[in-house]
């Protein structure tokens, strides 16, 4: 059943993609450049004596994940999620809706199930449809696309925008939330975020423990 649903949703997406102008497709297939190097360990920053500078360094290292398409695609500046390393608009064309779950007739769970679904026979590059029990867009207050890493840092610390979380809850969310963790298990045919969720969580905790200083800008 999962395979048939995946095939149906993907087929619809491909027919819409095929109708897009060639100029748009050429732009969409040009992937931005991202830092794909492994995450450094918390201990590797011990030589930075100044605590604020070390805190900033922790967040900048965590930024390899935060600014990776696996995260940015679900933190768009508008009401439409993004797809692929090229970060082109989601096909089929969906909208945020209430709670980031889509709109009636095109809810996120129409195509996205509780786990990644492998598909066959659709495209040489399209191998699976993402899945997670809580699949949805991040709140618009947490829009990251187009923001500097410093601006994203300030968003994360602001309870008015982060869902009322204090630093401890932010660390817990980043370290253990399964939807965040999907970034390292994105399904066949997708590049995972750098490092592991555990390494990322350790960097976020170290950032919080050293004062949660933000990069400039």
pLDDT tens-digit readout, 80-92: 999 999 999 999 9
Checking if the pLDDT of 59 tops 80, the result is: yes
Beta pairing class for 106-107 and 128-129? unpaired
Degrees (nearest 5) of the Cα angle 88, 94, 96? 100
Q: What pLDDT digit, counting tens, does each position of 161-192 carry?
A: 999 999 999 999 999 999 999 999 999 999 99
pLDDT at 135: 97
**pTM as predicted:** 0.86
pLDDT at 9: 54
Checking if the pLDDT of 125 tops 50, the result is: yes
Checking if the pLDDT of 58 tops 80, the result is: yes
| Strand spans (E) along the chain | 82-83, 88-89, 102-103, 106-107, 117-118, 128-129
Quick one: 47 exposed, middle or buried, by C-beta within 10 A (0-12, 13-18, 19+)? exposed
pLDDT: which is higher, 32 or 17: 32
CA distance 118 to 5: 11
Checking if the pLDDT of 20 tops 70, the result is: no
Percent pLDDT > 90 in the chain is 79
End-to-end CA distance of the chain: 48
pLDDT at 167: 98
Phi, psi for residue 190 in degrees, rounded to 5: -125, 140
Average confidence (pLDDT) over 127-138: 96
User: Which residues, in sequence order, are CB contacts of 1 under 8 Å at separation 6+?
Assistant: none
pLDDT: which is higher, 77 or 15: 77
CA distance 88 to 8: 21
pLDDT at 190: 95
What single DSSP character describes residue 134? T
Which ranges of the chain does DSSP label H, i.e. alpha helix? 2-18, 22-28, 51-66, 69-72, 149-157, 167-176, 178-181, 197-209
Q: Is 4 helix (H, G, I), strand (E, B) or coil?
A: helix
Q: Are 165 and 158 in contact (CB under 8 A)?
A: no
Average pLDDT, the chain: 88
């Amino acid at each position: 059943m999962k395979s048939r649903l995946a095939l149906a949703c993907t087929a619809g997406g491909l027919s819409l993609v095929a109708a897009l102008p060639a100029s748009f497709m050429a732009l969409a297939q040009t992937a931005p450049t991202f830092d794909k190097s492994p995450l450094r360990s918390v201990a590797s920053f011990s030589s930075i004596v100044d605590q604020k500078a070390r805190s900033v360094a922790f967040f900048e290292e965590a930024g390899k994940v935060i600014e990776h398409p696996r995260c940015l695609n679900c933190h768009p500046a508008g009401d439409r999620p993004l797809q692929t390393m090229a970060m082109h608009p989601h096909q089929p064309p969906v909208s945020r809706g209430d709670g980031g779950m889509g709109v009636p007739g095109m809810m996120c769970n129409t195509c996205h199930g509780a786990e990644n679904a492998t598909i066959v026979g659709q495209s040489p590059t399209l191998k699976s449809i993402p899945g997670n029990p809580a699949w949805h867009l991040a709140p618009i207050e947490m829009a990251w696309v187009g923001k500097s890493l410093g601006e994203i840092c300030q968003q994360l610390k602001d309870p008015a925008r982060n869902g009322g979380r204090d630093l401890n809850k932010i660390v817990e969310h980043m370290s253990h939330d399964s939807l965040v963790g999907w970034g390292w298990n994105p399904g066949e045919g997708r590049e995972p975020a750098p490092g592991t969720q555990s390494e990322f969580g350790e960097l976020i905790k170290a950032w919080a423990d050293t004062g949660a200083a933000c990069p400039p800008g």
